[in-house]
Every structure is written in C-alpha cells, then in structure tokens.
Structure 1
Amino acid sequence: MKKMMVVTLACVLLSGSMAFTATSATKKIDIVLNEKEIKTQAGTEAKLIDNRVYIPATVLRSARFSVEYKNSTLHLVNSYFHYTKNLMEMHVFNHVFTTRFNKIDQEVVNILGKVILEEPVDFSRLQQFIEEAESNVGIRPEVFTPVQDYNSFDFSPARESVEEYKKASLELIAYVDTGDKERLRAFYQERKQALEYYDSYTNVYDLIFKASLLVQ
C-alpha cells in the first residue's frame, strides 16, 4: 500500500484561501475552500499536531488540484489556473480569427460591387486576407486544458470556413476572367458553405467558452 502523503500548509496560506475549524486534536477538523466544504473519507481527515494542521495531499483533488508525487517532489497544480488560460487563449484567438474572416467577406463584397459596375478588379488584398486567416485557424494543443467533452481546441469549422472561402475566391477570379456564369454560381455556393462553417465555429466557440467558465 502506498504511503499516505501529507503536506503542511502554513498559516499565512490558510488565511488567504482556506478556513479551518480546530479546537482540539480529537475534534474533527472541517476544511472549507472558498466557502465550500471539502468532504473527506475515513483515514484522510485533517489532523492537528503541535498546533499545525496536516492535510493528506490527495484530499486536495476534491478542490480541483492535480496531485502528483514524482522524484521525491509533491506537485500541486490548481486547475482554475488552466481554465483561466483557456479563456484568455480563446478570447485572443476568436478576436484575431473573426477580424480576419470578416475582412475576407468585406473585400468580397467590394469586389462584387466593382464587377457589377464593370470596374477593374484587384484580387491581391483578398488573397492577402485569406493567407492571414489561414495562419490562425486553431489554438496550440500545448496551451489547451480539456473541459467537459471538449478534448481539443482544433476548431475545425474555423479552418474549413477559410478553406471554403479560398475555393470561393478562385471561382470568383475565374468568373471575372471568363464571364462564365457557372463559375459565378459556384462562387456563391462555396461562399454559402464558408459562412455556414463560420456560424458553426462561433457556436462551438461559445459552448467551449461557457464550459470553461462553468468549471471554475
């Protein structure tokens, strides 16, 4: 049987995050974290010895700490920290991605206006915006903490929306070059698909963002 690991928490730390009730060594000591009691099982109760409170490290798992004993070191990580990083990473990603995607869509509208007015069309800005969006269609796995049923921040709908808009841009370029109405129809179909993927991405983003908020 593995030996029980215990960790001594200094009074300064306890006053900042945990509150204890201890009147004697024989009385049960309640552990309260953020106004919520942490339930303990037989053999894992907190103990008062020489005016110090000792808590089995495994009890902290109930307070969303990861606990690992490795190479004579007890590693404690508060999962709240990871979920906070999730929210920060997602916020930055969403802002950058949606801004770039909307630039693509706005440039397409500008191009269509020039096509209707039979004015010269320059596709360089559209191609630039697509390349920029392609460089930012997901969050790096190493900064992701799984939450509920979401095991990655792949955000495949974001990537697919850019891929579809790239196909749509090629059809629009072909239409401007040839005047073939079938290429124009293909453009509208690809653009519609791109916008549907974009809507799917925003729904997934909202679900994961809210899930990260709930687990805190």
Structure 2
Amino acid sequence: MQLTARAIDQRVGFRKACTISAIGRIAEILPLPGGAMVRGAALVRAGAGWGESAMIISLTAVLTLSMAAALAGVPLIMSGGNLGYIVFTAGAAGALMSAGWMIRRSGIGVTVAMLVSRIAIIALGVVHIDVAFNAIGVDVKIIDAALFVVASSLGGSLSIVPAGIGLSEAIAAALAMLVDIPSGAAFLAVAIVRMCSLAVNGLVATLAGIGERQLTEERRHVKD
C-alpha cells in the first residue's frame, strides 16, 4: 500500500497502510471489487485523484497477476505441455509492460521496490499453498505449489461472486490435473489458504479499528 501511494507521489503511513491492506482483503468477500475500492478511497484521502488511484491499483493488480502467471508457467513447462510456454510468455509480457509503464510514471526506484514486494508476496503465497497441501497430507513439489498461486490471484480478481468463492478453488482443481495432483486436494488447499487469510486479516482489521478508536478518544481528551 505504501509503494502504491509512492508510485503516484503520495504518502501513507505504515500503520495506516497495514490497516487499509487488511480491511481491503476483508472487503473482497463482497461481490464487487471491494479491496480495490478501499485502497482507492485511501489514496484519494491521501491526496490522489480518483483517476490516478484507479489506474495505479489496476496496474499493480495486473503486475501481480502477470508475475504469478509467469511463475505458474514453469511447472506447466516441466510437465511437458505447450500450454506452459503460452502461460509463461503471456505472464512475462504482461509483467514487462506493467513494469515499463511504471518506470515511466514513477521511476526505477519505485518500480524495483514494487517488483521486489510482488516477488515476496508471490513467494509467500507459494509457501502458504505448500503448507496447506502438507496439512492435508498431500506431498507436492514446491515448484508445483507455485501453479496454484495464480489460481488464487485470478479468482480474487473476478468479483462476480463474493471474493471469487469457489472460483479460485475450481481453477486450482482444473490446473491440478495438468501436473498430476489430485483435484480435490488442490481445491481444499486453496480453500484453506483463503480461510486463513480472511481470519488473519479480520483480526488485524479488528485490532486496528480498536487502536484507531482509542487514539481518537485520546486526542479528544487532549483537546478538552
């Protein structure tokens, strides 16, 4: 969230960025782009225009999805299918185009930081998926776990149903057949990751809300 703000020459504090990110994740349970709306509203409050806020949020979403798709192409290539080359090429092209636009708009420094943060997010997503598979007793290669990160990203990007509920899992189940992983296990692993993410972000958003209310009350007492 902080990098997104910096990309359009705005500033958001670390605490507020954490709060907004958590609330944005919770808002994605709505059958509309709730997360994007929360982040966009936060950028507008920071001083950005609605147009540039929508633009940078869309751009970062495309960048993340493209990078996840490029990574997902690797296990597909290793499985011997031509689909992997198509997915990898499309993902890499999307990531390069997004990064190129961001360099022109925000400079190399912000772009590199954005790419590094996206790599970290995707890597953490791979670890989450791998742990979820292990939790249900299914052993998968770490590179195969990378395939299902794109399922979560793609399902979450489609807001025709609340948070893509069932959609990410269905995509994961379909992709699992391409790498000889049980479809039911992939469905369940992605569902576990989703539920854990909502629970953690819900806790963060609740604690942040309590902290913000206490801070507001303290400021009111000081003024009085």
TM-score above 0.5, yes or no: no
Bigger radius of gyration among the two: 1
Q: Higher strand proportion, which one? A: 1
Q: Higher helix proportion, which one? A: 2
Q: Return the TM-score normalized by structure 2.
A: 0.27
Q: Return the TM-score normalized by structure 1.
A: 0.27
